[in-house]
Structures are given as C-alpha cells and as structure tokens.
Amino acid sequence: MRAGRLIAIVLLMQNNGKMTSKALAEKLEVSERTIIRDMESLSEAGVPVYAERGQHGGWVLSEGYRTNLTGMHTEELVSVLVASHSALLGDLGIEGQYDAAVQKLLAASPAEVSKGAALARQKIHIDGAGWHQMQELMPLLSVAQEAVWEERLLRLRYQREDGEAERIIRPLGLVAKRSVWYLVGEIEGEMRTYRISRLLGAEVLAERFERPSDFDLAAYWEQSVGEFKQRLPQYPAVVNVLESVLTRLSKERYVKIIESQPSGQEGWLTAAVEFQGLESACEIILSYGSRIVAIEPAELRSRVMEEARAINIHYGLQ
C-alpha cells in the first residue's frame, strides 16, 4: 500500500509540478504528516525531491526527472483521455483505477506529449449524466472544435426570441452531455454556453486570443448546471431509492436531491427530492423502474401507479 502511494506521489509531481503537502494529502486521502514521512523515504531512496519554502512553496522534483514512453503520440494519448465515460467507470467502481492509469501514462510520456494531452483535458469535458436521449445534427461542431483547439476568435450566428443574433466569442471549451454538445465561450468577461446543434452559423477568425490561465472547464460546467437547477420550478417529493442509483438520479437535469437517509430496508435510502413538476417527476421515476418508489405527495404516487397499471395492461399482465 505504501509503495503504491510513493509511486503515486512521484507521478502526481511529474504531471503537476510543484505540489503542497496539503494538496498531496487530499489527493491521496492521507494526513500531511504521512506525506512528509513519504517525502523523506523518497529522498532516502534517491528520488530528487526537495521542499521550497515560503508562501508559494511546496514539494518539487528536480527538473528533468522523468521517464519516457516511446511511440506515444499526443493524439493517441488524447483519445485515451476523451474516450473514458466517467459515469460508466463510476458504476463499475473503477474510476479511481482509471485516474491512476492516466497519471502513469502522462508521467511516462515525453514532456511535449503529456503537455498536449493535459491541455486537451482542459478543453474537452465529458458529462455522462442523462438529460435526454437524442441524436442531433451538428454540422458546426468541427468548426467550433477548430476554434477551441487553435485558440482563435469565433463568429457565431444563432436564433433568439427576437430574431437572429451574431456574436464574436473567445471559445474556451466543448462539453458533451450524452449525445448533445455545448460550446463554452467568453464575451467581454462573461461566460456563455451555446448548444452546438442550434447554431445557425460559425466562422473561425484569424485573430488569436489568450486563454485565461485560471479557467477550469469542468468546474465551470458543474457550477453552470447547479445554477440552472436552482432556476427550475420546484416540485418537492419523497422517494425510496436504491443507494446504488442515487448519484445517477442527482445528475438528472430536472432533479435536485435535498437530503437522504437510510430507509430501514437494506440497500435503500429515503430521499427528499425536488423535481420540475408532476409530469416530469412521474416520467423520471418511471424511467428507473423498480429502483425508485414514489412516497409523497399522494398525487405523484397515484400518477405513477396509474401509469404502471396502464403499462401492465398494454403488456397483457392485467
């Protein structure tokens, strides 16, 4: 266990540069005192690690301490990073193993390759939680991707309630929500999100822009989704739900989990939930089959039961 942690420390520092004891401790789920002891062990084993003091200090590996993985190209490594489906990995319980594998690939790759792959992770974020299942036509996705990749200004044309509008944005990243793609961009200091399939036109301009060094695409998307849910109409309900699907339920577009506690039945939780409305609540609950049971309010429970009876009749079960 400890040997694996020492290797993880070296890989994290190779990939991220200077790291504090606190950051390493949080990442590896140990105490800062344990990290300090591990650093002493690494130093004694000949690993060139040293501490930088001061307000912006931390642990650092000597420059040039890196192993190379020959034959690995940037595009190949990017395909590994982007192809992962975080929801499926989480369902299988191997999300941590995937992250460890990525760290090893980045650490073993040449500096220019790992740098390109790390940049790709900042420019493409895959959100696997379900909103809708649909296939969309996205002829302008490649144009948006080019602008994001090349860090060039992008002229967009899109439909608004009062007619067509045109904007020039700084495209910072793409987000995939299942089969739906979104473009995240910045206009005069404000962040905007555009659904790719709804764009009427897109043109990559010659002018380049400087990507904000502190912008985190995944963090922005999570914040944006949270704010979206806060603006939705609220329909409070109580459900019994299998513990294994609670996380998936919380990521549904029209669902907010208020609190949950053991229901008294092994493997089940009782959760206070907010849906968008009665119809939406009924549709979502039915989509989970026997893994969710509506408890309150009575109208929701009755609606779900009516739909369940109708399904049985259609299949000749009643």
CA atoms within 13 A on the CB side of 109: 22
Q: In terms of domains, do 48 and 99 share one? A: no
Residue 69: per-residue pLDDT: 43
- From residue 53, how far is each of 20, 21, 56, 175, 244 by CA, in Å? 10, 12, 7, 39, 45
Q: Mean pLDDT: which of 34-43, 65-74, 164-173 is highest?
A: 164-173
Sorted by sequence, the CB contacts under 8 Å of residue 11 that are 6+ apart come out as 103, 104, 106, 107
Domain-embedded: residue 30: yes
pLDDT band for position 7 (50/70/90)?
Answer: confident
Q: In terms of domains, do 113 and 145 share one? A: no
Share of the chain above pLDDT 70, in %: 75
Domain-embedded: residue 238: yes
Under DSSP, the state recorded for 294 is E
Q: In terms of domains, do 171 and 183 share one? A: yes
Domain-embedded: residue 270: yes
Domain-embedded: residue 133: no
Q: In terms of domains, do 174 and 99 share one? A: no
What's the structural domain count of the chain?
4
Residue 76: per-residue pLDDT: 53
Residue 240: domain span: 232-314
- Domain boundary (175, 197, 228) is at 228
For residue 248, which of 88, 129, 86, 96 has the smallest C-alpha distance? 129
Q: In terms of domains, do 151 and 94 share one? A: no
- Domain boundary (228, 259, 289) is at 228
Q: In terms of domains, do 236 and 310 share one? A: yes
Domain-embedded: residue 50: yes
Q: Mean pLDDT: which of 27-41, 67-81, 145-159, 217-231 is highest?
A: 145-159
Global confidence as pTM: 0.46
pLDDT band for position 95 (50/70/90)?
Answer: low
Domain-embedded: residue 48: yes
Sorted by sequence, the CB contacts under 8 Å of residue 182 that are 6+ apart come out as 174, 175, 176, 193, 194, 195, 196
Q: In terms of domains, do 237 and 298 share one? A: yes
CA 63 to chain centre: 31
Residue 154: per-residue pLDDT: 96
Domain-embedded: residue 208: yes
pLDDT at 68 over 50: no
Domain-embedded: residue 81: yes
Range of lowest pLDDT (205-209, 248-252, 299-303): 248-252
Q: In terms of domains, do 240 and 198 share one? A: no
Residue 120: per-residue pLDDT: 64
Q: Mean pLDDT: which of 43-52, 69-78, 206-215 is highest?
A: 206-215
**Interval 268-283 mean pLDDT:** 92
* 100-155 pLDDT tens trace: 666 666 666 656 555 665 666 677 665 655 555 445 666 888 899 889 988 999 99
Range of lowest pLDDT (21-30, 49-58, 66-75, 112-121): 66-75
Q: What is the CATH number of the domain that holds 194?
A: 2.30.30.520
Q: In terms of domains, do 123 and 145 share one? A: no
Q: In terms of domains, do 145 and 224 share one? A: yes
Q: In terms of domains, do 86 and 163 share one? A: no
Backbone angles phi and psi of 225, in degrees to 5: -65, -40
Q: In terms of domains, do 236 and 224 share one? A: no
